[in-house]
Amino acid sequence: MNSVEGIDRLHMSGARAVFVLEPGSDLDQAAIAAAFEDRGMQLESLEYVQRPRARGVVTVDTGVT
Protein backbone atom coordinates (compact mmCIF):
# COMPACT_ATOMS: atom_id res chain seq x y z
CA MET A 1 0.00 0.00 0.00
CA ASN A 2 2.90 2.34 0.66
CA SER A 3 3.59 2.34 -3.07
CA VAL A 4 0.39 4.27 -3.86
CA GLU A 5 1.48 7.61 -5.29
CA GLY A 6 0.63 10.48 -2.96
CA ILE A 7 0.74 8.49 0.27
CA ASP A 8 3.63 9.36 2.55
CA ARG A 9 3.01 6.88 5.37
CA LEU A 10 0.51 4.17 6.23
CA HIS A 11 -0.13 2.82 9.71
CA MET A 12 -2.45 -0.15 10.26
CA SER A 13 -3.74 -1.35 13.60
CA GLY A 14 -6.45 -3.99 13.66
CA ALA A 15 -9.40 -2.71 11.70
CA ARG A 16 -8.09 0.82 11.24
CA ALA A 17 -5.55 2.26 8.86
CA VAL A 18 -4.24 5.81 8.89
CA PHE A 19 -2.64 7.39 5.84
CA VAL A 20 -0.49 10.48 5.97
CA LEU A 21 -0.66 12.08 2.56
CA GLU A 22 2.24 13.83 0.91
CA PRO A 23 2.11 17.64 0.87
CA GLY A 24 0.04 18.76 -2.09
CA SER A 25 -1.33 15.28 -2.73
CA ASP A 26 -4.50 15.30 -4.79
CA LEU A 27 -5.65 11.83 -3.72
CA ASP A 28 -9.32 11.72 -2.87
CA GLN A 29 -11.48 9.25 -1.01
CA ALA A 30 -12.43 7.33 -4.14
CA ALA A 31 -8.78 6.86 -5.18
CA ILE A 32 -7.80 5.57 -1.75
CA ALA A 33 -10.78 3.22 -1.55
CA ALA A 34 -9.92 1.90 -5.03
CA ALA A 35 -6.31 1.28 -3.95
CA PHE A 36 -7.56 -0.86 -1.06
CA GLU A 37 -10.08 -2.70 -3.21
CA ASP A 38 -7.37 -3.43 -5.81
CA ARG A 39 -5.59 -5.30 -3.01
CA GLY A 40 -8.71 -7.26 -2.07
CA MET A 41 -9.65 -5.21 0.99
CA GLN A 42 -13.17 -3.81 1.24
CA LEU A 43 -13.41 -0.60 3.23
CA GLU A 44 -16.25 -0.17 5.67
CA SER A 45 -15.73 3.55 6.13
CA LEU A 46 -13.33 6.24 5.02
CA GLU A 47 -12.67 9.57 6.72
CA TYR A 48 -10.48 12.26 5.22
CA VAL A 49 -9.13 15.19 7.20
CA GLN A 50 -7.18 17.96 5.47
CA ARG A 51 -4.52 19.34 7.75
CA PRO A 52 -2.78 22.71 7.58
CA ARG A 53 0.37 22.93 5.48
CA ALA A 54 -1.14 20.82 2.70
CA ARG A 55 -0.86 17.57 4.60
CA GLY A 56 -3.81 15.28 4.97
CA VAL A 57 -4.72 12.31 7.09
CA VAL A 58 -7.04 9.60 5.92
CA THR A 59 -8.47 7.19 8.46
CA VAL A 60 -10.20 4.08 7.19
CA ASP A 61 -12.02 1.20 8.79
CA THR A 62 -10.94 -1.86 6.84
CA GLY A 63 -13.27 -4.23 8.62
CA VAL A 64 -10.28 -6.54 9.17
CA THR A 65 -9.66 -7.46 12.79
What is the domain partition of the chain in residue ranges? 7-61
2 has pLDDT over 50: no
Q: Which residue has the higher pLDDT, 59 or 51?
A: 59
Contacts of residue 62, Cβ cutoff 8 Å, sequence gap at least 6: 12, 15, 16, 17, 36, 41, 42, 43, 44
pLDDT tens digits along 12-50: 666 666 666 666 667 776 777 777 777 777 666 666 555
H helices, E strands: number in the chain? 1, 4
Burial (CB count <10 Å: 0-12, 13-18, 19+), residue 2? exposed
Q: Is the pTM of this model over 0.75?
A: no
Mean pLDDT, residues 54-63 taken together: 59
Bridge-partner residues for 27, per DSSP?
none
